[in-house]
């Protein structure tokens, strides 16, 4: 019995130590480039509704839908006579108060001289001072009223807040509008961005990429990452990401996809092995098999591999060998 058992153990030991024949290939020949994409849309935060800040009739609409406008360009004129009259009235009130103020200063000066000569009382001097102070305060108030009237006159002409195009005409000439009434809509020519909702792994990859573009129909527009919004959608577990156009921009509202290529190739799943609950690959090193863990590998998915491209990977026989086992490379 001892000889039989010993013989059996000897045979088992020889089988364990025997080298296994495997096939290897450089990692560069195995990796597959992966192109990813996500739904996206061109957005423009500068789409302003131009509203009246006065109560007045529309005198003239100076632009039409589709017109290109420059920042500061006049768009709508309101009937402004009431506000011009209010401005003139404020100017007249200021002139009147200025004349009264000059007289009050002269009267105060005379009262002070008479007081020094003991020909006037302190009460008279104090009365002249109070009259002068009151007139100065009234004059300051009138100047504020004039500023308000000038601002109202300025608001009789509505101007473009930025360069862009008129997308809607809401009011017509002759309409009576109130403060807050919308008159036009202007879409900005700048600040166009692409908005996409990406998962955390996608955001990590996109942040390191040099080539990423927005594809709408058959057109491609190069992009640059601008910002990742620090808010996670609880349902989709995504974050909004904003991209700027590197060159030519697509039209506002265009729908398409943000497309990018992963910075590292992916290893087809047939070359992935599992050892002690970890996923990885078998690498040839000094005639032995070496198990390399792939930390980001997911069961059933081709993992990213960040290893030197000249590493020799066991592509046949990898599932039946263990780490540290001697292997023979097939010719």
pLDDT score of 87: 95
| Exposed/middle/buried for residue 50 (C-beta within 10 Å: 0-12, 13-18, 19+) | buried
Residue 1 in tokens: 């019995």
* Residue 132 CB neighbours (<10 A): 20
- Using the structure block, give the residue that is written with the tokens 């009262």: 111
> Using CA atoms, how far apart are residues 43 and 46, in angstroms rounded to an integer?
9
> Using CA atoms, how far apart are residues 301 and 266, in angstroms rounded to an integer?
9
Q: pLDDT digits over 295-318, tens only?
A: 888 888 888 888 888 999 999 989
State which fold the 20-31+266-329 domain adopts.
2.40.420
Do 20-31+266-329 and 35-45+190-261 have matching folds?
no
pLDDT score of 6: 37
Whether residue 92 contacts residue 98, with contact meaning beta carbons closer than 8 Å, is answered with no
Q: pLDDT digits over 70-112, tens only?
A: 999 999 999 999 999 999 999 999 999 999 999 999 998 998 8
Report which of 245, 203, 210 is spatially closest to residue 44, judged by C-alpha positions.
245
For 54-78+156-187, CATH number out of 3.50.50.60, 3.30.470.10, 2.40.50.100, 3.30.1330.40 equals 2.40.50.100
Whether residue 5 contacts residue 311, with contact meaning beta carbons closer than 8 Å, is answered with no
CATH number of 35-45+190-261: 2.40.30.170
pLDDT score of 9: 37
Residue 183 in tokens: 């008159």
Sheet holding 164-169, edge to edge: 47-51, 182-188, 164-169, 68-69
Main-chain dihedrals φ then ψ at residue 310, nearest 5 degrees: -90, 5
pLDDT score of 208: 66
Q: 187: which residues sit within 8 A by CB, 6+ positions away?
A: 44, 46, 47, 164, 165, 166, 167, 252
Break the chain into its structural domains and give their ranges.
20-31+266-329, 35-45+190-261, 54-78+156-187, 81-154
The parts of the chain modelled with pLDDT lower than 50 are: 1-17
| Exposed/middle/buried for residue 215 (C-beta within 10 Å: 0-12, 13-18, 19+) | middle
């Amino acid at each position: 019995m001892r000889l039989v058992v010993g013989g059996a153990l000897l045979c088992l030991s020889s089988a364990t130590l025997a080298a296994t024949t495997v096939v290897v290939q450089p990692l560069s020949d195995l990796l597959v480039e992966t192109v990813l994409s996500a739904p996206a849309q061109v957005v423009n935060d500068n789409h302003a509704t131009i509203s009246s800040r006065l109560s007045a009739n529309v005198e003239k609409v100076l632009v039409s839908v589709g017109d290109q406008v420059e920042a500061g360009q006049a768009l709508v004129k309101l009937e402004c006579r009431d506000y011009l009259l209010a401005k003139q009235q404020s100017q007249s009130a200021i002139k009147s108060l200025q004349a009264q103020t000059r007289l009050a200063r002269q009267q105060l000066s005379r009262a002070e001289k008479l007081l020094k000569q003991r020909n006037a009382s302190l009460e008279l001097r104090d009365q002249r001072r109070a009259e002068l102070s009151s007139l100065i305060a009234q004059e300051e108030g009138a100047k504020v009223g004039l500023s308000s009237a000038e601002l109202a006159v300025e608001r009789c002409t509505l101007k473009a807040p930025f360069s862009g195009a008129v997308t809607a005409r809401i009011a017509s000439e002759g309409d009576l509008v109130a403060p807050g009434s919308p008159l036009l809509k202007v879409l900005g020519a700048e600040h166009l961005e692409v908005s996409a909702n990406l998962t955390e792994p996608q955001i990590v990859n996109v942040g390191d990429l040099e080539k990423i573009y927005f594809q709408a129909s058959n057109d491609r527009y190069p992009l640059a990452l601008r910002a990742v919004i620090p808010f996670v959608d609880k349902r989709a577990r995504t974050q909004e990401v904003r991209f700027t156009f590197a060159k030519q921009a697509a039209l506002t509202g265009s729908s398409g996809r943000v497309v990018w290529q992963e910075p590292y190739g992916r290893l087809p799943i047939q070359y992935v092995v599992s050892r002690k609950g970890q996923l990885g690959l078998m690498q040839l090193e000094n005639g032995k098999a070496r198990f390399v863990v792939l930390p980001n590998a997911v069961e059933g998915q081709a993992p990213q591999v960040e290893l030197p491209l000249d590493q020799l990977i066991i592509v046949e026989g990898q599932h039946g060998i263990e780490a540290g086992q001697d292997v023979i490379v097939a010719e």
